[in-house]
Structure 1
Amino acid sequence: MYGLTFPSKGNGPYKSSPLSSLFQALIVSGMFFFLGLFHVIAHDFLLKLKNKGLLELSTQNGSVVLQGVIDKVPVPSIDGIRTEIEIHGLGRLCLYIKGATESDFPPGELIRFSARLRPIVNVKTPGTFDRELWWKQRGIMFQAYTEYPLKCICLGKIHPTPIEDLRVIVLHRLQKMIGTQNAGIATAMVLGEKSWIDFSTKEAFFKAGIGHILAVSGLHLAIVATFFGILIKYLLSFSDRLLLTLPVKKISIAVGCAFALLYVALAGFSPSAQRAFLMVFSFGLAFFLKRELSAVCALSLSAWLIVLFNPYSLKNPGFLLSFFAVFFLIWYSPWINTGNSFEKLIKLTIIAWLSTVPLSSVFFHQTSLIAIPLNIIIIPVLGTILLPGLILTLLLDISLWLFNCAPSSVMWYPISFLINLLNSVVQNASKLAISTLHIYSPTYFEVLCFYLILFFIGLLLRGEPERRFSIGAVTVTLIFMLSFHWYQAYHGKDIEFYTLDVGQGLSQVIFTPKKVVLVDAGGGTFPYDRGSFVVSPFLLSKNRDVIDYLIISHYETDHAGGVLGVLEKLKVKKVIGPKPAHHQKIFKRIKSLLNEKGIPFRIINSYETISLGENSMLFIYPGSTYKDLTKTNDKGLVTVFWSKGRSILMPADIEEKREMCLTKSFTQNVDLLVAPHHGSVTSSSINFVESFRPKFVVFSYGLGNGFGLPDPKVKMRYLRIGSTILETPIHGTIKASIDQKGNFTISTYEN
């Protein structure tokens, strides 16, 4: 396959044993592994080199004026649009434009704008979405925010963008003919672009386990290639001479592949679309060359080509889910193809679901329990009626529109009705209590074991010769997997305290062998909040889906904004918080959701102690006991965690006046302090610092936050007493561990 051959056993003077063959295979595998590693490093280096100009501009303070060309169709974003800009000689940029609509900035438009450049960076918290990698796949490393029309102007279209212009036509025709909401679903089904679907609808599709229909797949390409292949064959059939002199079948295949390529370009070259096209192209090429090609070889070739041109695809969830699903469908095809059509559909759906469960657990921490029955119902209708009807109606509509014939909205009625029906079924199904199962994030070892078991079961179903070997392999893999679980269960009794990297905000997590405590949940506004996208994925990645105590220090957005997301995603037993001020709307939203879910909520008005198991206590100091405190920050809860003689102080956003009160009621050296108010100069007074003398100080803040946090003077106060400073934007999520002997250790996401 790779152009390397090794003598077979008994062939010539080289008689290789099975062991030497294995050794040779390992050498070849190692060579390709290191070549691949070098390829990724080289690709990363070239991308940084290409964006060197933007990197230099991003280090400047304040805004810069840039001019560039929009090279992608803008998509909706919060309060505006998001688009991609080519800055001549500097690189590509993701630009958010507040107050603009998609029609204000068509592709190919030259624009000038004023904005502050920022590098696209991940929150450094385990289990979270790799946003940095997602943008690197698109050749982008920087982002900017501007406002229309105050800081952004259009200078006219200077570059033709035929593919993007065609995407605009498709979007406009769908929105005009079937309405905004249905058009969003139709756009996702046709182009794989989900930005026009509102958050709740998108989440409903994934909860129901049919989110895959919102991506371009082999079914789409099969419809397009078959339609145009048959069309060209039909047109050629009008001439007997052409039928006799031309290779009609080859021409039909070539035309079908050409239109399939156009369709993939229209769909934005998503991983699943690339995989489907390359497989179609491989089979078409094999037909031209009169060579046989197995489905596994076509799949392998597709994977190799995609990774060759974009090595970042290896960590793309869509790429991995698509290839694993197709591989196991091919592997199980002898078993799937037995029985009647309905039995085949059931088998196909089960294998597709099983092959994606481990990766869905890793990337999304959930799976759908109703995916199998729902797919059995929806996929036949989608594949035979809805999707072919949608694509063909769209082709007819655009053709009539291009020839100045007004397309009738009547021809869209069946499609609109079916999409409405699909949406209704999905919405109702996703509301079922059993629709979604939030599951622990498995380790890579567990994922490997699962896929090995699935592989060997497939081998077992293939016939008698491999049966005994397959049974043994499945048994051994299960033993390894169960042994690993046993080891994990009996070797995880350390106390763990985490300060999560949530950007500009704060969230802290305590794990004891028996309890989980969450103190604050970061910022943001639901549904785009840190609780949904950072805190919940982190907890699930640590195999924790139940929170015993959720403590809200105070009701400001950077601390309590993520609470709604956590309450929606995970099971919470009890919520504790201070008395709210009348103007704090976020408290009303939290209280409403708590009432809806029946979660007990308690306002703390006096000092309280909570036991978290053996030798572990939580002490809560409310600000309401001090009547002379007027600031909201000072009225928040201060939490102290104590275990095995070690202490961690979490003072939230208290300021100097409350710090004085705290030093009077509680004074001792602490092992770790989460710096009050993110390192603001109004906090961490000299008296406070001297009273607690922390060994480690954690500053939780967002890089380039605009508030000047943390203040250099504050950092210097801690350095003077010998504290070690840790910062979430630099070190990422910070973990403090207390073992059974009381030893205290610190580790960070970066190391």
Structure 2
Amino acid sequence: MYAALGAAVAFYSYPFFPGLPGWLLLLLLLPFIIAICLFRVLSLNKLSVFVSAAALGVSIGLAAGAMAPRAASLGLPSESINAVSGMLIEDPRQFNDDRGMGILALEASSAGDGLRASASGSITVFFPADVIPRLKEFGRGCGIYTEGKLIQSDRGLLFRASAVHIVKPASRLEQFRTGLRTGLLTKFSPKIDSENPASAPVWSSLAMALLLGVRDNLDSSLSKGFAYAGCSHVLSLSGMHLALLSGLVAFFLRRILGLKPAMIVGAVFILFYVWLAGGQASLVRSAIMYFLGAACVWGFLKRDALNLLCLAFIIQLLFQSGAGSSVSFILSYLSLAGILTLGETLHECFKGSIPEIIGAGLSASIGAFIATSAVVSLFFGELRPVGIIAGLIIVPLSSLFMIMALGILIIVNIIPLLFSPLNAVLTLVYRLIEYAVAYAGKVPGLAAPNPWPVLALSIIMAGLIYFVQYKASAYRSAIAPFKN
């Protein structure tokens, strides 16, 4: 935990440090690793170990900061650039108006007078509607040359493309992945009416979003409804989605293979799923947590959820440092940290006064909300407390929907005649989600343009929760002898 705190402080304050080469910062890890080993062997006091762990974390944070991709460097004056080229590093995303966007790892930039220069970093490119089908066909990893206009926004440089040329196909492995994704996505839209092949189940776009993270065809009103209901995290592939899918695998394999072999098969499945879905930061975090949990089952690590989360943070920061500054990365770790600390404390307070089926979910929701409020305020300027209650209904419904959507896709390929009755049931669940999201979304949010008061209030609420838990624990200890 101390190492993770040190890493977080160093990584997020890295812009204030002078630019140091990454290899030099990594070299700083060695003496701290040796120091920690010596402290353990010599059984020195815990304070020394904590200080060394924090120092090790600072070195890791600095190293991750040095390795993280920096802002785009175009090599030419921005006002003269009319074309950029590079490689798509994410699957292109399509909007409801058929236009789209993608992240381009820059290789070169061009100006109107024929000048061409090397470029580095990454830039968000907005594509016209007519090129999206072709970009989806070639997929992540392909090289493109795009003409258009460079735009300076409050979030940095953007590029609005007017023409796009595919100059290099993706690797064979990426081509296989793109073909597999395309094939799976067609399975999410089985035709209901053979005379009207354009018709598809109303739930298909939500199934794509929850199972593969593809929100291209998701109804904009439903997407906004999740956000207004304070449940936008449901649409982002994360621990909930991975737990459900890996849980299904474990359920069918555990009795056949046993717990430990089933964990290995589950790990292979998770690696494949993360690769197929695209490696979003929150999904990678969940995968690392699964692997660490498997190591606990095999006896290599102690079962301590908070320490495992901290270890996952350090691992992901080193191997996916570019994602460390993304909102999804930050919120993913903060929300789970809030659940494991404030949520568990509240859960203890609720025992005996609130039914367990409600208390467990409510305490987790409150813990995650408090832990993430300041960051949500910073990036979005608004808080949606209704999500604390709405999540108790929307999250279970979404989980049920995921299981049923996956089941119907498997069953229909075996017995096509069952599609109509299964479709009717799944459509009903979809409508329930739609209604719950719309109803919760009507509750107004709280404007919070300044994150500092929100942070202060969050700290006060956290302190109050721990104080109440302390008083409750003291009260139980005082009356325990009388119960005997």
Tell me the TM-score normalized by structure 2: 0.71
Match of 1:360 in 2: 376
Q: Which of 62, 71, 80 is the equivalent residue of 1:37?
A: 62
Match of 1:82 in 2: 101
In the alignment, the residues of structure 2 paired with residue 59 and residue 87 of structure 1 have an alpha-carbon distance, to the nearest angstrom, of 14
1:185 aligns with 2:206: yes
Match of 1:700 in 2: none
Q: Which of 376, 388, 391 is the equivalent residue of 2:403?
A: 388
In the alignment, the residues of structure 2 paired with residue 377 and residue 65 of structure 1 have an alpha-carbon distance, to the nearest angstrom, of 46
Match of 2:270 in 1: 260
**Structure having the larger proportion of residues in strand:** 1
In the alignment, the residues of structure 2 paired with residue 229 and residue 266 of structure 1 have an alpha-carbon distance, to the nearest angstrom, of 20
Kept after mapping to 1: 8 A contact 2:228/2:384: yes
Taking a change above 3 Å as real, the CA distance of residues 40 and 396 of structure 1, as seen in their structure-2 partners, is farther
Consecutive unaligned residues of structure 1, counting only runs of 5 or more, are: 124-130, 133-140, 238-242, 469-751
Kept after mapping to 2: 8 A contact 1:393/1:411: yes
In the alignment, the residues of structure 2 paired with residue 32 and residue 391 of structure 1 have an alpha-carbon distance, to the nearest angstrom, of 41
1:373 aligns with 2:380: no
Kept after mapping to 2: 8 A contact 1:182/1:416: yes
Q: Which of 178, 182, 185 is the equivalent residue of 1:171?
A: 185
Match of 1:204 in 2: 225
Kept after mapping to 2: 8 A contact 1:174/1:186: yes
Match of 1:341 in 2: 357
Match of 1:115 in 2: 147
Quote how far apart the aligned CAs of 1:263 are: 2.1
CA deviations 1:450-500 (Å, max 9, x no partner) are 4543444454355469979xxxxxxxxxxxxxxxxxxxxxxxxxxxxxxxx
Kept after mapping to 2: 8 A contact 1:192/1:215: yes
CA deviations 1:212-246 (Å, max 9, x no partner) are 21112222212211222233346xx4xxxxx7xxx
Quote how far apart the aligned CAs of 1:361 are: 1.8
Aligned residue identity for 2:269: F
1:438 aligns with 2:447: yes
Kept after mapping to 1: 8 A contact 2:376/2:383: yes
Quote how far apart the aligned CAs of 1:86 are: 6.4
Match of 1:224 in 2: 245
CA deviations 1:371-424 (Å, max 9, x no partner) are 2332223333333x2222223334555x659xxx79835433322321233113
Taking a change above 3 Å as real, the CA distance of residues 287 and 314 of structure 1, as seen in their structure-2 partners, is same
Quote how far apart the aligned CAs of 1:112 are: 6.0
Tell me the TM-score normalized by structure 1: 0.48
Kept after mapping to 1: 8 A contact 2:370/2:462: no
CA deviations 1:301-339 (Å, max 9, x no partner) are 111112112334443222222222212222242541634
Aligned residue identity for 1:98: P
Aligned residue identity for 1:259: F
Taking a change above 3 Å as real, the CA distance of residues 71 and 259 of structure 1, as seen in their structure-2 partners, is same
Taking a change above 3 Å as real, the CA distance of residues 457 and 163 of structure 1, as seen in their structure-2 partners, is farther
Q: Which of 126, 143, 151 is the equivalent residue of 1:96?
A: 126
Taking a change above 3 Å as real, the CA distance of residues 438 and 463 of structure 1, as seen in their structure-2 partners, is closer
Kept after mapping to 2: 8 A contact 1:361/1:440: yes
CA deviations 1:49-89 (Å, max 9, x no partner) are xx76xx236769464485x6656443214552323556779
Q: Which of 330, 345, 349 is the equivalent residue of 1:320?
A: 330
Kept after mapping to 2: 8 A contact 1:57/1:117: no
Matches within 5 A, 1:540-555: none
Aligned residue identity for 2:433: L
Quote how far apart the aligned CAs of 1:295 are: 0.4
Match of 1:516 in 2: none
1:417 aligns with 2:428: yes
Taking a change above 3 Å as real, the CA distance of residues 57 and 386 of structure 1, as seen in their structure-2 partners, is same
Quote how far apart the aligned CAs of 1:341 are: 1.9
Partner secondary structure for residue 297 of structure 2? helix
Kept after mapping to 1: 8 A contact 2:373/2:455: no
Aligned residue identity for 2:101: R
Taking a change above 3 Å as real, the CA distance of residues 152 and 388 of structure 1, as seen in their structure-2 partners, is same
Kept after mapping to 1: 8 A contact 2:377/2:383: yes
Partner secondary structure for residue 226 of structure 1? helix
Taking a change above 3 Å as real, the CA distance of residues 200 and 212 of structure 1, as seen in their structure-2 partners, is same
1:213 aligns with 2:213: no
Taking a change above 3 Å as real, the CA distance of residues 249 and 371 of structure 1, as seen in their structure-2 partners, is closer
Taking a change above 3 Å as real, the CA distance of residues 466 and 303 of structure 1, as seen in their structure-2 partners, is farther
In the alignment, the residues of structure 2 paired with residue 463 and residue 65 of structure 1 have an alpha-carbon distance, to the nearest angstrom, of 59
Give % identity. 18
Matches within 5 A, 1:551-570: none
Aligned residue identity for 1:213: V
Kept after mapping to 2: 8 A contact 1:272/1:318: yes
CA deviations 1:106-165 (Å, max 9, x no partner) are 3436676551464x7541xxxxxxx44xxxxxxxx8745033xxx646887874423333
Kept after mapping to 2: 8 A contact 1:334/1:462: yes
CA deviations 1:534-575 (Å, max 9, x no partner) are xxxxxxxxxxxxxxxxxxxxxxxxxxxxxxxxxxxxxxxxxx
Consecutive unaligned residues of structure 2, counting only runs of 5 or more, are: 4-32, 109-118, 192-198, 476-484
In the alignment, the residues of structure 1 paired with residue 51 and residue 425 of structure 2 have an alpha-carbon distance, to the nearest angstrom, of 57
Match of 2:279 in 1: 269
**Structure having the larger proportion of residues in helix:** 2
Kept after mapping to 1: 8 A contact 2:339/2:363: no
Aligned residue identity for 2:290: V
Match of 1:640 in 2: none
In the alignment, the residues of structure 1 paired with residue 432 and residue 287 of structure 2 have an alpha-carbon distance, to the nearest angstrom, of 30
Match of 1:575 in 2: none
In the alignment, the residues of structure 1 paired with residue 440 and residue 135 of structure 2 have an alpha-carbon distance, to the nearest angstrom, of 38
Kept after mapping to 2: 8 A contact 1:69/1:87: yes
Aligned residue identity for 2:378: V
Matches within 5 A, 1:677-692: none
Quote how far apart the aligned CAs of 1:254 are: 0.6
Aligned residue identity for 2:293: F
Q: Which of 464, 467, 472 is the equivalent residue of 1:460?
A: 467
Match of 1:106 in 2: 136
Partner secondary structure for residue 419 of structure 1? helix
Quote how far apart the aligned CAs of 1:28 are: 5.8
Partner secondary structure for residue 315 of structure 1? coil
Quote how far apart the aligned CAs of 1:97 are: 3.0
Matches within 5 A, 1:638-653: none
Quote how far apart the aligned CAs of 1:255 are: 0.7
Aligned residue identity for 1:387: M
Kept after mapping to 1: 8 A contact 2:144/2:165: yes
Taking a change above 3 Å as real, the CA distance of residues 56 and 28 of structure 1, as seen in their structure-2 partners, is same
Query: Which protein, 1 or 2, shows the higher relative CO under an 8 Å CA cutoff with sep ≥ 6?
Result: 2
In the alignment, the residues of structure 1 paired with residue 316 and residue 362 of structure 2 have an alpha-carbon distance, to the nearest angstrom, of 31
Instruction: Kindly report the root-mean-square deviation, in angstroms, between the aligned alpha carbons of the 2 structures.
Output: 4.1
In the alignment, the residues of structure 2 paired with residue 329 and residue 144 of structure 1 have an alpha-carbon distance, to the nearest angstrom, of 40
In the alignment, the residues of structure 2 paired with residue 400 and residue 59 of structure 1 have an alpha-carbon distance, to the nearest angstrom, of 56
Q: Which of 297, 310, 318 is the equivalent residue of 1:287?
A: 297
In the alignment, the residues of structure 1 paired with residue 253 and residue 266 of structure 2 have an alpha-carbon distance, to the nearest angstrom, of 9
In the alignment, the residues of structure 1 paired with residue 407 and residue 252 of structure 2 have an alpha-carbon distance, to the nearest angstrom, of 12
Kept after mapping to 2: 8 A contact 1:365/1:439: yes
Match of 2:316 in 1: 306
Taking a change above 3 Å as real, the CA distance of residues 105 and 252 of structure 1, as seen in their structure-2 partners, is same
Matches within 5 A, 1:485-504: none
